[in-house]
């Protein structure tokens, strides 16, 4: 009795109770739109996975579904790409972004019903775009395949989502502006800028000649670097210290990483046009920017690593931490690989090969998607006030996706390097006599074994996605337990991830 009375009179205890109550109110205000965005993202993830497997099989079994027009390789791959980008990734980004913004701003979400309407409109737009691709109305511009009648709906939906994030920030009660908020606000500004400029210059009032290629790569590269990357880094900067119960190692390093990303990244995409009919000074500027990207990458990786030092044992227990750290490590690796690809000598080997496919999946999946998985494992229990039903399904999800994507990236990288070397003119001997490159069909035949391994990697990833989807539906339908529950962990660990 005495200890209870002392605890109730303790200022720190009262402060903790008040903080928990405030966070619970914030989480409750985000519940409906969060569940809709995340539910939509999981559904689109499964759709994208199905089309990914179909596309992968077609690479080494061309007759697979060959008599179905809307499942030809060109349409199936575009359906996969857009389901993953605009269905899974953007829906997950929206949910994580406004949940983080509400938490960091210490502000309840206002007018959640209108945000739900935005979520509905976004997914209607994506659905219309997917149908348009399936019936042959694709624009054939990578990352912008949705037909013109789908994009206005997406614009309206995004405007509402972006406005809500800004309003939440504006009415926040936090005493500090955290670096995660910097990344979130910047991403919410950059995406409509990128998407609107690309739509105008490539779809509605298309430019001519080389400028089209420049705009396309400017958009495609920057969507990853100035939209998905800031959302992913904002999540890492929030969840890493949150789960570990310690502050980020250096606020100043995080600020340096943010500004160097903002300054250098938007030029870097041009390096994909090395050797093309593009002014040399433009290519050189892209190469320089790509190498300058080493600065934010090293700074961010160092900051995350030093935060984790002394607490790495928590990886054994926390699902969120395991996904977040895996994504953070692969952010460093894929970014450094991207800088390497900007070298003219390396580009001569890897350009137009499977290596670029592996690199794209390395960034979009091994970094961003894994971070989103970790974020969802943290957010959903706090919104629903109940824990994940199965730690075993979480473990299966992690190991299947981690092993699958590393196998995928490794296979595609080896296949691409072999493909590039065999396609180029190689010296016959030390005398300087050069022969002809290997015939194209022979080069393609040598890649079949790697493409079969790619399909195996895709199947492994799909198993992880199914485990994730089962767990997701299970937590939605399971009964809410009475009282406070402990966080879902791989093993029993005291004082880990219990802070709301």
Q: 207-213 contacts: CB < 8 A, separation 24 or more?
A: 210/276, 210/277, 210/278, 213/273, 213/276, 213/278
- Residue 430, in any domain of the structure: no
Q: Domain of 380?
A: 350-425+436-491
Position 10 scores a pLDDT of 39
CATH of the domain at 110: 1.20.120
Contacts of 337 (CB under 8 A, 6+ apart): 359, 362
Predicted confidence at residue 448, as pLDDT, reads 95
Domain boundary among 133, 159, 175: 175
Q: How many CB atoms lie within 10 A of CB 321?
A: 25
- Last-in-domain residue among 127, 149, 175: 175
Phi first, then psi, for residue 434 (nearest 5°) are -110, 140
| The Cα angle at residue 280 between residues 425 and 294, in degrees rounded to 5 | 90
Please give the structure tokens belonging to residue 11.
């200022």
Q: Is residue 486 part of a domain?
A: yes
Distance CA 470, CA 405 (A): 20
338 within some domain: no
Could you give the CA distance from residue 154 to residue 285 in angstroms, rounded to a whole number? 32
Q: What is the pTM of this model?
A: 0.93
Q: Which of 175, 207, 227 is the last residue of a domain?
A: 175
Domain annotation covers residue 256: no
From residue 383, alpha-carbon distances to 23, 29, 181 in Å are 10, 9, 20
Task: Answer yes or no: is 391 within a domain.
Answer: yes
- What pLDDT was estimated at residue 499? 47
Cβ atoms of 285 and 245 closer than 8 Å: no
pLDDT digits (tens, 9 = 90+) for 199-210: 999 999 999 988
Give the residue among 492, 326, 308 at the shortest CA–CA distance from 399: 326
How far is it, in rounded angstroms, from Cα 486 to Cα 466? 25
| Whether the Cβ atoms of residue 418 and residue 426 lie closer than 8 Å to each other | no
Write down the pLDDT at residue 2.
Answer: 39
Number of domains present in the structure of the chain: 2
Of 31, 47, 33, 32, the closest CA to residue 89 belongs to: 47
Give the residues of the chain that fall short of pLDDT 50.
Answer: 1-13, 498-500
pLDDT of residue 290: 95
Q: How far apart are CA 259 and CA 183, in angstroms?
A: 10
Q: How far apart are CA 170 and CA 177, in angstroms?
A: 11
């Amino acid at each position: 009795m005495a200890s209870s009375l002392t605890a109730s009179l303790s200022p720190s205890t009262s402060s903790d109770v008040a903080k928990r109550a405030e966070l619970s109110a914030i989480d409750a205000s985000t519940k409906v739109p969060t569940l809709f965005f995340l539910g939509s993202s999981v559904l689109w993830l499964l759709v994208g996975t199905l089309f990914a497997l179909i596309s992968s099989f077609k690479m080494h079994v061309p007759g697979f579904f060959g008599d179905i027009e809307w499942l030809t390789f060109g349409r199936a791959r575009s359906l996969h790409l857009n389901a993953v980008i605009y269905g899974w990734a953007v829906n997950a980004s929206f949910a994580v972004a406004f949940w983080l913004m509400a938490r960091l701003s210490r502000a309840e979400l206002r007018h959640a019903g209108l945000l739900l309407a935005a979520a509905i409109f976004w997914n209607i737009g994506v659905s219309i775009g997917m149908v348009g691709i399936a019936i042959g109305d694709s624009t054939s511009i990578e990352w912008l395949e949705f037909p013109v009648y789908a994009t206005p709906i997406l614009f309206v939906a995004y405007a509402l989502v972006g406005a809500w994030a800004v309003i939440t920030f504006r009415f926040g009660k936090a005493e500090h502006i955290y670096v995660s908020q910097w990344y979130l606000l910047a991403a919410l500004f950059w995406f409509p800028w990128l998407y609107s400029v690309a739509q105008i210059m490539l779809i509605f009032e298309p430019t001519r000649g080389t400028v089209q290629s420049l705009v396309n790569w400017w958009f495609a590269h920057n969507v990853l670097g100035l939209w998905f990357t800031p959302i992913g880094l904002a999540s890492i900067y929030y969840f890493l210290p949150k789960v570990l119960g310690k502050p980020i190692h250096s606020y100043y390093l995080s600020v340096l990483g943010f500004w160097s990303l903002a300054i250098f990244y938007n030029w870097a995409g041009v390096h994909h046009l090395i050797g093309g009919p593009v002014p040399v000074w433009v290519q050189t500027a892209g190469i320089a920017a790509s190498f300058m990207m080493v600065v934010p990458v090293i700074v961010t990786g160092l900051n995350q690593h030093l935060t984790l030092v002394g607490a790495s044992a928590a990886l054994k227990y926390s699902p969120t931490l395991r996904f977040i750290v895996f994504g953070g490590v692969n952010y460093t690796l894929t970014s450094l690989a991207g800088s390497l690809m900007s070298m003219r000598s390396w580009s001569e080997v890897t350009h137009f090969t499977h290596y670029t496919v592996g690199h794209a999946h390395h960034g979009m999946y091994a970094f961003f998607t894994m971070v989103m998985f970790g974020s969802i494992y943290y957010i959903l229990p706090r919104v629903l006030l109940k824990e994940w039903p199965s730690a075993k399904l979480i473990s299966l999800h992690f190991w299947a996706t981690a092993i699958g994507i590393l196998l995928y990236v490794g296979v595609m990288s080896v296949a691409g390097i072999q493909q590039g070397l065999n396609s180029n003119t190689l010296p016959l001997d030390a005398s300087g006599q050069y022969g002809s490159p290997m015939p194209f069909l022979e080069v393609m035949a040598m890649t079949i074994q790697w493409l079969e391994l790619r399909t195996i990697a895709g199947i492994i990833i799909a198993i992880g996605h199914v485990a994730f989807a089962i767990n997701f539906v299970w937590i939605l339908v399971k009964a809410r337990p009475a009282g406070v529950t402990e966080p879902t962990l791989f093993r029993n660990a005291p004082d880990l991830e219990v802070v709301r």
